[in-house]
């Protein structure tokens, strides 16, 4: 049996690529030095990949910023506002990051992952300006003397992720509506397809033997018409290509149009994800697999950091072999490996040994695929299994039991919203159009330095705590001065809203070097949920209580919700995701009750990643939303009716999920409204939303101080639509990335807006 892998991380074992590119941006190193360093990173990763004894070694899977942007610049899909930049590298980075004159291209999430790509802005008129796959192929051949398989995003997926604009001469572009886009979709796809065809012709000329097109968009909800467009496009792409094996890889989900795609797509092989769930195997059993194609079987996870269970995989492969001849199977990872950190090695001595025994990152995946090949081709004995024994070490029976009960229970608050909201407002003694903020205040250099010093052990816990208290005190004084109605403590003790809680909860681990690319040069270290979750002691009560003592105004308790904590972490696969959410929810609930006991009257439970966990396929979304809502409700269903529960989500696409947002039954939800100029409220109007809404009138993503009139306009739109007694006024997200100099005047204006509203309505 043959093997391949794809998507090995690009960032370097110690984030060398990030460092090189950022130094270049800062002008600390020259372009040549940066490119030299980048090449070294690529050489290192290629060496490791080659070492895995693969039959198809990938190339062209390295990128200085983003692999979607690489396609845009390859086919000259460069928005007008960047076209005057003559240097191609400068233009490339300008599209990603913007310049003084030209705002950056939009960036958005890549499928249901935490990778972000640069959204193509298409107007048509594509041409092949740089055959990157050809260059990468040549480079690998010269450097290592080997044949490689260039990998790039397929034309269909590229189009599916693009925004379509009217072609215009000036820099002003008109974004087209969805309906118009669907009309343009086909012609634009065919245009891109013919550029891809030209690229393949040049590769064929060169003697390239195989090419991989990544087409994860094939797992989305596609109707037959879209699939036949896809097939027609591939006819254009592969026209006259007789000597190259063309592989189309799908991943992150199963193929719903399995039969049509596998039979009719005019390519040499199809990659299927057998790890994400059992559906592709079911499809294979039902429809078989065409004899003229290879099956690239994704059997080793690209998304989860857990060790492969060889026996399980061997059983899976035995099943697959019943439907596809052995010599037509190519074993592979299921999804790109860049979702994983580079290596487990640096974690030895840092993480618990039992946990290390469960982990497998990108380097370990390469090793696994090598061993798998030996097991299957040479009859090597699968390494012994200790995985279950290791997992058992992290079991908490009490938590398991508590979670079991939940499915049988109805989780809701004892009083209806109407009843409790009236009582809450009386008890809080706050005016109409109450003003508040989302939680964090500016994290100044001083704050970050002190936290780092404390982590390094350079200052004592006492020194650190008294520093944090000082910051809280200042923040409270500022809020008094500004005349806000509901205060926050400022979150100075938190670097990150998930990490902070993960570090205090049982069942979470934090790596030392487990960096994963989030976008461009930005990397994150996702927490790893490896065991049952519980809360050994209060996590936030001390700080909130302290803040509350300093003022008569209510101070909000500030927590991160279970769905967000889960969606931003690596999580275990041995129990359902829902159960992990419930476990976290129960831990958060303990904190909520402790805050309530400490006299805190408002508790905000942030869920900015609530929508992010939405499954790719519509038919699976309801199930997710049901348990996600339940997890949120679990955190607070046992509070007194006078305790007010807030939540926060910082985005504006609520249309499809508004019903579930409502069912979360938070007393107040704060949302982003500034960038859409308040239009978002219409989703709430259509639904007749009748709980509290905090309208995010201040765009915190910009350093700009919004004038009173601007914020007032957004707020007034809301007043037209929503019961005025339910409206709160706030910024659209936390202020942690801003400077005090911007925040103070902006909040002052915001408070004026509320005063005007109170007089007028």
Least distance between ligand GLN and beta carbon 704 (Å): 19
Distance CA 273, CA 275 (A): 6
Least distance between ligand GLN and beta carbon 547 (Å): 14
141 marked ligand binding residue: no
Q: Choose the contact partner of 116 out of Zn ion, ligand GLN, none; CB within 5 to 8 A by kind.
A: none
Q: Choose the contact partner of 603 out of ligand GLN, Zn ion, none; CB within 5 to 8 A by kind.
A: none
What region, left, alpha or beta, does residue 651 occupy, with left being phi > 0 and alpha being psi -120 to 50 degrees?
beta
Count the Cβ atoms, other than its own, within 10 Å of residue 96. 19
303 marked ligand binding residue: no
What does 85-115 look like in DSSP terms, one character per residue?
--SHHHHHHHHHH--SSSPPPPEEE-TTSS-
Distance CA 725, CA 719 (A): 9
Tally: H helices and E strands in the chain: 27, 22
**276 counts as binding Zn ion under rule CB under 5 A:** no
CA 209 from centre of chain: 35
Question: Residue count at the site for Zn ion (CB under 5 A)?
Answer: 3
439 marked ligand binding residue: yes
Least distance between ligand GLN and beta carbon 475 (Å): 12
> Cβ(43)–Cβ(17) under 8 Å?
no
Q: Choose the contact partner of 497 out of ligand GLN, Zn ion, none; CB within 5 to 8 A by kind.
A: ligand GLN
Q: Is 31 helix (H, G, I), strand (E, B) or coil?
A: helix
Distance CA 314, CA 332 (A): 13
| Residue closer to Zn ion (CB basis): 10 or 736 | 736
> Cβ(375)–Cβ(308) under 8 Å?
no
Polymer length in residues for the chain: 761
**447 counts as binding Zn ion under rule CB under 5 A:** no
543 marked ligand binding residue: no
Stretch that binds Zn ion, among 108-116, 462-470, 607-615, 704-712 (CB under 5 A): 607-615
Least distance between ligand GLN and beta carbon 35 (Å): 35
16 marked ligand binding residue: yes
| Residue closer to Zn ion (CB basis): 637 or 652 | 652
* 715 CB burial (10 A radius; 0-12, 13-18, 19+): buried
**Which contiguous run of DSSP H or E holds residue 83?**
none
| Residue closer to ligand GLN (CB basis): 250 or 443 | 443
Closest-CA residue to 122 (of 85, 75, 84): 75
- Contact residues toward ligand GLN (CB under 6 A) are 438-440, 491, 497, 558, 606, 608, 648, 650, 733-734, 736
Least distance between ligand GLN and beta carbon 558 (Å): 6
Least distance between ligand GLN and beta carbon 67 (Å): 26
Q: Is 84 among the residues known to form the active site?
A: no
Distance CA 104, CA 519 (A): 14
DSSP secondary structure letter of residue 748: H
Distance CA 71, CA 157 (A): 11
| Residue closer to ligand GLN (CB basis): 79 or 490 | 490
| Residue closer to Zn ion (CB basis): 42 or 652 | 652
109 marked ligand binding residue: yes
Q: Choose the contact partner of 18 out of ligand GLN, Zn ion, none; CB within 5 to 8 A by kind.
A: none
Binding to Zn ion (CB under 5 A) within 196-255 occurs at: none
b/e per residue 263-272 (b: at least 16 CB within 10 A): ebbbbbbbbb
Closest-CA residue to 196 (of 155, 157, 136): 155
Q: Choose the contact partner of 37 out of Zn ion, ligand GLN, none; CB within 5 to 8 A by kind.
A: none
Phi, psi torsion values for 622, nearest 5 degrees: -60, -40
Interface with Zn ion (CB under 5 A), residue from 547, 733, 743, 750: 733
Count the Cβ atoms, other than its own, within 10 Å of residue 691. 19
Least distance between Zn ion and beta carbon 436 (Å): 13
672 marked ligand binding residue: yes
Q: Choose the contact partner of 472 out of ligand GLN, Zn ion, none; CB within 5 to 8 A by kind.
A: none
Q: Choose the contact partner of 694 out of ligand GLN, Zn ion, none; CB within 5 to 8 A by kind.
A: none
Q: Choose the contact partner of 614 out of Zn ion, ligand GLN, none; CB within 5 to 8 A by kind.
A: none
| Residue closer to Zn ion (CB basis): 123 or 564 | 564
Q: Alpha-carbon torsion 639, 640, 641, 646, what sign?
A: negative
Strand-pair partners of 557: 603
Rg of the chain in Å (alpha carbons): 27
Least distance between ligand GLN and beta carbon 29 (Å): 33
Distance CA 532, CA 510 (A): 15
What does 600-666 look like in DSSP terms, one character per residue?
--EEEEE-TTTGGG--SSHHHHHHHHHHHHHHHHHHHTTS-TTSEEEEEE-----GGGHHHHHHT--
650 marked ligand binding residue: yes
| Residue closer to Zn ion (CB basis): 233 or 733 | 733
15 marked ligand binding residue: yes
Distance CA 474, CA 607 (A): 27
E-assigned strand segments in 663-758: 668-672, 692-698, 727-731
466 marked ligand binding residue: no
491 marked ligand binding residue: yes
Q: Choose the contact partner of 440 out of ligand GLN, Zn ion, none; CB within 5 to 8 A by kind.
A: ligand GLN
Least distance between Zn ion and beta carbon 703 (Å): 17
End-to-end Cα, the chain, rounded Å: 74
| Residue closer to ligand GLN (CB basis): 156 or 568 | 568
Least distance between ligand GLN and beta carbon 736 (Å): 5
Residue nearest to ligand GLN (CB): 734
- Which of these is catalytic: 80, 339, 489, 701? 701
> Cβ(759)–Cβ(720) under 8 Å?
no
Q: Alpha-carbon torsion 63, 51, 277, 327, what sign?
A: positive
Distance CA 504, CA 565 (A): 12
105 marked ligand binding residue: no
| Residue closer to ligand GLN (CB basis): 24 or 654 | 654
Taking every pair of Cα atoms in the chain, the longest distance, rounded to a whole number of angstroms, is: 82
β 602-606/556-560 pair status: parallel
Distance CA 359, CA 370 (A): 17
Q: Choose the contact partner of 558 out of Zn ion, ligand GLN, none; CB within 5 to 8 A by kind.
A: ligand GLN
| Residue closer to Zn ion (CB basis): 572 or 648 | 648
Stretch that binds Zn ion, among 116-124, 478-486, 557-565, 601-609 (CB under 5 A): 601-609
**608 counts as binding Zn ion under rule CB under 5 A:** yes
Binding to Zn ion (CB under 5 A) within 625-654 occurs at: 650
User: Where do runs of H (alpha helix) occur along 339-444?
Assistant: 353-356, 362-378, 387-392, 397-406, 417-428
Stretch that binds Zn ion, among 115-123, 126-134, 149-157, 729-737 (CB under 5 A): 729-737
| Residue closer to ligand GLN (CB basis): 159 or 733 | 733
Least distance between ligand GLN and beta carbon 264 (Å): 44
Q: Choose the contact partner of 439 out of Zn ion, ligand GLN, none; CB within 5 to 8 A by kind.
A: ligand GLN
Distant-in-sequence, close-in-space partners of 700: CB < 8 Å, separation ≥ 6 = 731, 732, 733, 734, 735, 737, 738
Binding-site positions read 15-18, 109, 438-440, 491, 522-523, 568, 606, 612, 648, 650, 672, 733
Give the binding site for Zn ion (CB under 5 A).
608, 650, 733
Which residues are documented as binding site for L-methionine? 438-440, 491, 606
Q: Which residues does the annotation place in the binding site for 5-methyltetrahydropteroyltri-L-glutamate? A: 15-18, 109, 522-523, 568, 612
Annotated binding site for Zn(2+): 648, 650, 672, 733
Residues with a known catalytic role: 701
Annotated binding residues for L-homocysteine, as ranges? 438-440, 491, 606
């Amino acid at each position: 049996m043959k093997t391949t892998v794809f998507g090995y991380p690009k960032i370097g074992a110690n984030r060398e690529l990030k460092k090189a590119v950022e130094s270049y941006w800062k002008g600390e190193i020259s372009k040549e030095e940066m490119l030299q360093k980048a090449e070294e990173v690529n050489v290192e990763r290629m060496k490791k990949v080659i070492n895995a004894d693969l039959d198809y070694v990938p190339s062209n899977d390295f990128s200085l910023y983003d692999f979607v942007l690489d396609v845009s610049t390859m086919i000259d899909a460069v928005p007008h506002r960047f076209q005057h930049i003559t240097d191609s590298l400068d233009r490339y980075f300008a599209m990603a990051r913007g310049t003084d004159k030209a705002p950056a291209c939009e960036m958005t999430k890549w499928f249901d992952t935490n990778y972000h790509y640069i959204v193509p802005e298409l107007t048509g008129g594509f041409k092949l300006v740089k055959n990157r796959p050809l260059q990468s192929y040549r480079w690998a051949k010269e450097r290592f003397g080997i044949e490689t398989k260039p990998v790039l995003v397929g034309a269909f997926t590229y189009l599916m992720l693009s925004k379509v604009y009217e072609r215009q001469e000036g820099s002003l572009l008109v974004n087209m509506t969805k309906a118009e886009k669907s009309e343009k979709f086909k012609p634009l796809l065919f245009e891109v397809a013919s550029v891809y065809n030209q690229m393949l012709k040049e590769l064929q000329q060169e003697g390239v033997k195989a090419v991989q097109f990544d087409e994860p968009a094939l797992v989305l909800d596609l109707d037959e018409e879209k699939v036949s467009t896809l097939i027609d496009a591939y006819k254009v792409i592969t026209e006259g290509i007789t000597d190259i094996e063309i592989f189309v890889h799908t991943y992150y989900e199963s193929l719903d149009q399995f039969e049509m795609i596998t039979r009719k797509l005019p390519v040499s092989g199809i990659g299927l994800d057998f790890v994400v769930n059992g559906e592709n195997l079911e499809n294979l059993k039902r429809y078989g697999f065409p004899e003229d194609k290879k099956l690239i079987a994704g059997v080793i996870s690209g998304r989860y950091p857990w060790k492969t269970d060889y026996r399980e995989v061997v059983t899976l492969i035995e099943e697959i072999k019943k439907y596809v001849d052995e010599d037509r199977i190519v074993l592979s990872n299921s999804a790109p490996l860049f979702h994983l950190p580079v290596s487990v090695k640096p974690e030895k001595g840092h993480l618990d040994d039992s946990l290390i025994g469960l982990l497998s990152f990108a380097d370990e995946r390469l090793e696994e695929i090598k061993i798998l090949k030996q097991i299957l081709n040479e009859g090597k004995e699968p390494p012994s299994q200790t995985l279950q024994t290791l997992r058992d070490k992290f079991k908490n029976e009490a938590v398991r039991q508590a979670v079991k009960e939940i499915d049988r229970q109805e989780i809701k608050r004892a009083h209806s919203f109407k009843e409790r909201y009236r009582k809450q407002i009386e008890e809080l003694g706050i005016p109409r159009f109450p003003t508040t903020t989302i939680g964090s205040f500016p994290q100044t250099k001083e704050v970050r330095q002190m936290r780092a010093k404390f982590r390094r052990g350079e200052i004592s816990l006492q020194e650190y705590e008294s520093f944090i208290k000082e910051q809280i005190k200042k923040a409270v004084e500022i809020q008094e001065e500004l005349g806000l109605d509901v205060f926050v403590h400022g979150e100075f003790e938190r670097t990150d809203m998930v990490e902070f809680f993960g570090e205090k909860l049982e069942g979470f681990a934090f790596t030392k070097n487990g960096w994963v690319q989030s976008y461009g040069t930005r990397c994150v270290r996702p927490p790893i949920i490896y065991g049952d979750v519980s809360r050994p002691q209060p996590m936030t009560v001390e700080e909130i209580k302290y803040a509350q003592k300093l003022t008569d105004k209510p101070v909000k308790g500030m927590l991160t919700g279970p769905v967000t904590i889960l969606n931003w972490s690596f999580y275990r696969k041995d129990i359902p995701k829902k159960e992990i959410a419930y476990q976290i929810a129960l831990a958060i609930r303990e904190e909520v009750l402790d805050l309530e006991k400490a006299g805190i009257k408002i508790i905000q439970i942030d869920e900015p990643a609530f929508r992010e966990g939405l499954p790719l396929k519509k038919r699976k979304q309801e199930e997710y939303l049901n348990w996600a809502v339940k997890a949120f409700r679990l955190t607070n269903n046992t509070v007194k009716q006078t305790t007010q529960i807030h939540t926060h989500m910082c985005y504006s696409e609520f249309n499809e999920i508004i019903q579930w947002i409502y069912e979360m039954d938070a007393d107040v939800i704060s949302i982003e409204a500034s960038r859409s100029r308040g239009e978002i409220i219409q989703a709430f109007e259509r639904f007749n939303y009748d709980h509290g809404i905090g309208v995010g009138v201040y765009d915190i993503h910009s350093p700009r101080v919004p004038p009173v009139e601007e914020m007032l306009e957004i707020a007034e739109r809301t007043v037209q639509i929503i019961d005025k007694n339910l409206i709160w006024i706030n910024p659209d997200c936390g202020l942690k990335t801003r400077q005090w100099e911007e925040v103070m005047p902006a909040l002052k204006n915001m408070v004026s807006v509320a005063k005007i509203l109170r007089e007028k309505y």
